[in-house]
Amino acid sequence: MVALALAPLVAALPGGTPVAQGAGAPGRGQAGAAAAAAATVQGTEAGGSTGRAETAAAPSSAVPAPPPQDARAAILVDGATGQVLYARNADVAMPMASTTKIMTALLAIERGDLEQEIVTGERAFGVEGSSLYLALGERRTLEELLYGLMLRSANDAAVAIAEGLAGSVETFVGWMNQRAWDLGLRHTRFADPHGLSSRDHYTSARDLATLARVAMANPTFRRIVGTREYRMPWPEKRAERVLQNHNRFLWRYEGATGVKNGYTRAARGALVASARRDGVELIGVLLGAHPTGMYRDMARLMDWGFAHFEPLQLVRGGETVGSVPVDGGRRDRVPVVAAYGSRWLVPRDEPAPAVERAVQLAEPLRAPLAAGTRVGTLVVRVDDQVVDRIPLLSGASVAAAPAWAAARHALAGWAEPALLAVAAVLGLLVGVRWRRHVMARRRWRRRVAAFDPMMWYAFRPRDPGAD
């Protein structure tokens, strides 16, 4: 890894001090802030960027404590970056009830075709709990079943989807657990696609927030969970099934965008909620909560987050952040631009934090180089804490230099050493010549001293000094 100090920018940007510590890791082509967040959680699976790892920290001392919640575990995160604004018992494993269906829906969207027709089998027919009341042998598209799954919280739709896509519930559950492992959800295990099981079926608030971030980055998932009412044709009864979203938070909270609620006797209330205000989307999770009071508690937690934090722009998408050297090209350096923008939530009305941006090259660059080529990573730090790693792209193309130019460049590189070598050789020759001259004069003087003075003129040798 070649690290360049050409862009350490330490800037005082308006906004306040960082409230969470952690490393930005990573994913996340870039199609927007939400997609960037998802790509970072998924790491290399999402497309080869360095990605962003989830952060975890308590609120800053400058921020008042959030209102209490009647829940065993709670967490509030930035939907774009995973920055944790508040967490309590966030890594304790506990039942998740119907929030299980977030994974069920995400997998179905990723692996299935929305127009695919699925036939209701015996295992799906008559499943207990919330239901779409599918008839045995009833045919529904995957999209219709997904609306039933996420709005009506239909357990029969969950089983029908699992069997229709994987061939069996057990195989689909294996997919769910593999996907959880790929996302780094180490406190999560699935035993069914709907959440009725209480044994060997659990998650943590942090894992559920991570899963929700990835799912909400999927446009189809976001559209479904953000729907309040959906009308499904019901030819058998010459009518329509009117599906209303059971997630009361979506109806009651201004700016709500999703995600899923749930309840079982073992799990109590479970709520994953998201809301957007002023360009910031927060995701909250309550587990082991009061089944009706959880909506009020979540609204208060969201209000607290929106009221006390604001976004600090760290880098803008397409921004030129420096330049890097290129070998063998018509130009020696090329500008580099950020593949996408990045921000960080900071407490309102606080002193500005120090922001440092450093360019890292995976390897030296050689021409030809096309514009938009991935050339390195921009490491962003807030108060000495890494918060993001953004892919860097070449801001211009660099053509390979002609052969004669390359040769000239190579010779130019050797010119200075060659001149030094020549100077050294000449100095050595001059030194040898001077030493010979001095030694010859000494020999001449000795010979002169050995002759009789009377015969000196007749037998004098030539004075070397006369040369």
**Per the domain annotation, does 377 fall within a domain?**
yes
- In this model, does residue 191 exceed pLDDT 60? yes
The Cα 104–Cα 235 span in angstroms is: 27
* Region for 369 from its dihedrals, namely left if φ exceeds 0, alpha if ψ lies in -120 to 50, beta otherwise: beta
Identity at 366, one-letter amino acid code? R
One domain, residues 223 and 327: no
Q: Which residues contact 348 (CB under 8 A, 6 or more apart)?
A: 16, 307, 308, 309, 310
One domain, residues 90 and 167: yes
Q: What is the CATH number of the domain that holds 186?
A: 3.40.710.10
Residue where one domain finishes, among candidates 373, 394, 415: 394
Higher pLDDT, residue 72 or 428: 72
Convert the pLDDT of each residue in 126-153 to its tens digit: 899 999 989 999 999 999 999 999 999 9
For the residues 101-109, what does the mean pLDDT come to?
A: 97
Residue where one domain finishes, among candidates 371, 394, 417: 394
Convert the pLDDT of each residue in 281-300 to its tens digit: 999 999 999 999 999 999 99
Range of the domain at 435: 403-466
Helix (H) or strand (E) holding 427: helix 403-450
Mean pLDDT lowest among 33-42, 67-76, 133-142? 33-42
**Per the domain annotation, does 9 fall within a domain?**
yes
Residue where one domain finishes, among candidates 352, 368, 394: 394
C-beta of residue 185 within 8 angstroms of C-beta of residue 12: no
Q: Domain count for the chain, please give it.
A: 3
One domain, residues 173 and 127: yes
Q: What is the pLDDT of residue 432?
A: 83
- In this model, does residue 51 exceed pLDDT 90? no
Q: Which residue among the candidates 49, 101, 204, 274 is catalytic per the annotation? A: 101
Count of alpha carbons within 13 angstroms of residue 304, beta-carbon side: 21
Q: What is the pLDDT of residue 403?
A: 65
Angle of the 101-111 helix axis to the 142-151 helix axis, nearest 10: 160
One domain, residues 151 and 208: yes
User: Is residue 260 flagged as an active site residue?
Assistant: no
- In this model, does residue 61 exceed pLDDT 80? no
Q: Which residue among the candidates 49, 60, 131, 153 is catalytic per the annotation? A: 153
Convert the pLDDT of each residue in 320-344 to its tens digit: 998 888 888 788 888 999 999 999 9
The Cα 90–Cα 230 span in angstroms is: 33
One domain, residues 251 and 152: yes
The Cα 346–Cα 59 span in angstroms is: 10
Q: What is the pLDDT of residue 168?
A: 96
One domain, residues 382 and 415: no
Q: What is the DSSP string of 250-266?
A: HHHSTTEEEEEEEEETT
Q: Which residue among the candidates 49, 60, 61, 98 is catalytic per the annotation? A: 98
Instruction: Identify the CA nearest to 400 among candidates 334, 321, 324.
Output: 334
Taking residue 447's Cβ as centre, other Cβ atoms within 10 Å add up to 12
Most confident of 282-296, 309-323, 410-424: 282-296
> Token match 């799954």: residue?
149
**Per the domain annotation, does 67 fall within a domain?**
no
Taking residue 62's Cβ as centre, other Cβ atoms within 10 Å add up to 15
C-beta of residue 341 within 8 angstroms of C-beta of residue 316: yes
- In this model, does residue 247 exceed pLDDT 90? yes
Q: Which residues contact 260 (CB under 8 A, 6 or more apart)?
A: 98, 99, 101, 102, 150, 153, 225, 247, 271, 272
Share of the chain above pLDDT 70, in %: 79
**Per the domain annotation, does 294 fall within a domain?**
no
Beta-bridge partners for 260: 272
One domain, residues 415 and 384: no
- In this model, does residue 187 exceed pLDDT 90? yes
Question: Quick check: helix, strand or coil at residue 284?
Answer: strand
Phi/psi of residue 320, each to 5°?
A: -80, 120
pLDDT band at 465 (very low <50, low <70, confident <90, very high): low
The terminus-to-terminus CA distance of the chain in angstroms comes to 63
Tokens describing residue 411? 């010779």
Phi/psi of residue 18, each to 5°?
A: -65, 145
Helix (H) or strand (E) holding 433: helix 403-450
Share of the chain above pLDDT 90, in %: 57
User: Is residue 101 flagged as an active site residue?
Assistant: yes
Instruction: Identify the CA nearest to 52 among candidates 87, 84, 76.
Output: 84
Mean pLDDT of the chain: 83
Q: Which residues contact 453 (CB under 8 A, 6 or more apart)?
A: none
One domain, residues 275 and 144: yes
One domain, residues 103 and 158: yes
**Per the domain annotation, does 301 fall within a domain?**
no
Beta-bridge partners for 283: 77, 274
Identity at 58, one-letter amino acid code? A
- In this model, does residue 402 exceed pLDDT 50? yes
* Model pTM score: 0.74
Tokens describing residue 403? 């052969």
One domain, residues 222 and 332: no
Strands 320-327 and 365-366: what pairing? parallel
Task: Write the DSSP symbol of residue 387.
Answer: E
Q: What is the pLDDT of residue 350?
A: 85
pLDDT band at 22 (very low <50, low <70, confident <90, very high): very low
pLDDT band at 177 (very low <50, low <70, confident <90, very high): very high
pLDDT band at 88 (very low <50, low <70, confident <90, very high): very high
**Per the domain annotation, does 305 fall within a domain?**
no
Mean pLDDT lowest among 232-236, 291-295, 412-416? 412-416
One domain, residues 276 and 422: no
Instruction: Identify the CA nearest to 357 among candidates 389, 334, 325.
Output: 389
- In this model, does residue 225 exceed pLDDT 80? yes
Q: What is the pLDDT of residue 83?
A: 94
